[in-house]
Amino acid sequence: MTLRSPQRRGQRVAPTASGGEWELRFATGDAADGWEQLCASAPGPLKTSWERLRADPRRVDHRQHRLRDQLSSRRVGDRDLEQWQYEVTGAGRVWYCPDDAAHTVWLVDAMPGHPPRTG
């Protein structure tokens, strides 16, 4: 299975969700571009993050947590959603927003290097 991005905002990330899995979609072009960079630099850890976000986007552990303070939420479309972070590598991050109504995880940013701001 390839985790290559379609490089467009709103597009689904990899295969269609099945069963109780969450759908992953790009909320921004930056997220699609960053995902592509992470595919090239850390394919194994990125695949693990993809699997975990599809299974349980609100799992809390040493790699996955909700961002805090002014980063704790983000506007996606016409709604404010919780904003979370998944640590793909020591520096690589994926920021995302679970959308319960659509059972979708919106990827809002993906970066192979440590983000300039964290919460």
Dist CA 78 CA 50 (whole Å): 25
Q: Is there a domain that residue 102 lies in? A: yes
Q: Is there a domain that residue 19 lies in? A: no
Q: Is there a domain that residue 72 lies in? A: yes
- Backbone torsion region of residue 69, taken as left when φ is above 0, otherwise alpha when ψ lies between -120 and 50, otherwise beta: left
Q: What is the pLDDT of residues 14-54, one digit of tens each?
A: 667 778 899 999 999 999 999 999 999 999 999 999 999 99
Q: Is there a domain that residue 18 lies in? A: no
Q: Is there a domain that residue 79 lies in? A: yes
Q: Give the range of the structural domain holding residue 55, as residue numbers without chain letter.
A: 25-111
pTM value > 0.75:
yes
CATH number of the domain enclosing 52: 3.30.2310.20
Q: Is there a domain that residue 88 lies in? A: yes
Q: What is the pLDDT of residue 1?
A: 42
Q: What is the pLDDT of residue 6?
A: 45
| 3-state SS class at 95 | strand
What is the total residue count of the chain? 119
Number of compact structural domains in the chain: 1
> What type of residue sits at position 60?
V
pLDDT, greater one: 43 or 119: 43
Q: Is there a domain that residue 118 lies in? A: no
Q: Find the farthest-apart pair of alpha carbons in the chain and give their distance in angstroms, rounded.
A: 37
